[in-house]
Amino acid sequence: MTKKAIATIKDSLELPVIMAPMFLISNPNMIIKACEAGVVGSFPALNARTSEVLEEWMIQITNELEDLKMKNPNKKIAQWAVNFISHRSNKRYVEDLKLLKKYQPPIVITSLGDPSPVVEVVHEYGGTVLSDVINIKFAKKAIEKGSDGLILVSSGAGGHAGTLNPISFIHEVKEFWAGPIILAGGISKGQDILAAEVLGADFVYMGSRFIATKESLAVDEYKEMVIQSTIEDVLYTDVFSGIHANYLIPSIQKAGLDPSNLKDKNEMDFSAGSNNHHVKAWKDIWGAGQGVGVTKKVQYVSEIIEELHDSYHKAKTAIINDKEQYLLKN
């Protein structure tokens, strides 16, 4: 990503925030509201249950954001992003890649697999590719394959997350990478955004903070569980999807499972007659990050972004004032 490209993204933002793509939760309305409020909105391509539906979503997002820009020429309308599973196990790989080429989302986020075919398509139309990574090995591979920016999915992130401390992770990545960095993992307040910038991040990734929104596709019970949960209600396990992720313990208990005695997925009783044979990750076992305790009520996306904006700037002002007081005293 050139400095001009990153400047273009930042110029469209009120806050250096990317609303993370959330499986079965993100939808066009959330993306449009996020972009209208000045943060990047994103969604997993597979949230659209078919390629035909994905095309409809891309048309809707493109048209509505263009309309917003025309009606509000002086307002910052952020860019939007789609999350693409770049592993060949993605059964819609070819069809959805063609849609990326056709509708040209400004930002494409790759997960799993080799991002280079996506990079080729997106760079051809002038877009930006960000790759999420959970360790140094995958960070270096993403750079090697041509990704423009790295999303460091650290310990405490919702859904599929890594185990590395975000502070240590970003320090080590910056030893070999001078390009854009997006930091993820438990970020939920405006002060957190500022802290990430101090560490050297260009943007932050926030997902769990937006689960309990009016625009979210999460069912009401899921939203209420997020509101009632704290950091102690989050469990990191690979039992449900084969890949380690952070899940809400109350949702595991609700499914009739004992969080303290989870077996390997292949050993669990999913037979007919079992209380848990219909249990599925994300649909029944709900994900959330360690910042879940910040959420206290269901809000509109725009309300949350306004709160983040206020707390971010208050924290920034406090630092400036403290610095000025220090200089006056010394």
Specify if 260 maps to a domain: no
Say how many domains are in the chain: 1
Phi first, then psi: give them for residue 275, nearest 5 degrees: -70, -15
For the segment 38-59, the average pLDDT, to the nearest whole number, is 98
CATH number for position 89: 3.20.20.70
The per-residue pLDDT for 330 is 64
Specify if 167 maps to a domain: yes
Specify if 300 maps to a domain: no
Instruction: Give the residue numbers spanning the domain of 144.
Output: 3-217
The residue whose two tokens read 């997002």 is 61
- The amino acid sitting at 122 is V
pLDDT surpasses 70 at 269: no
The per-residue pLDDT for 266 is 53
Cβ(42)–Cβ(21) under 8 Å? Answer: yes
Distance from C-alpha of 131 to C-alpha of 306, rounded to nearest angstrom: 27
* Share of residues in the chain with pLDDT > 70 (%): 92
Give the model confidence (pLDDT) of 53-112 as tens digits.
999 999 999 999 999 999 999 999 999 999 999 988 899 999 999 999 999 999 999 999
The per-residue pLDDT for 71 is 96
Specify if 319 maps to a domain: no
Q: Which residue has the higher pLDDT, 33 or 323?
A: 33
CB burial of residue 123 (10 Å; 0-12, 13-18, 19+): middle
If you average pLDDT over every residue of the chain, what do you get?
Answer: 92
pLDDT surpasses 90 at 3: no
CA distances 231 to 6, 109, 293, Å, are 33, 27, 6
The per-residue pLDDT for 10 is 87
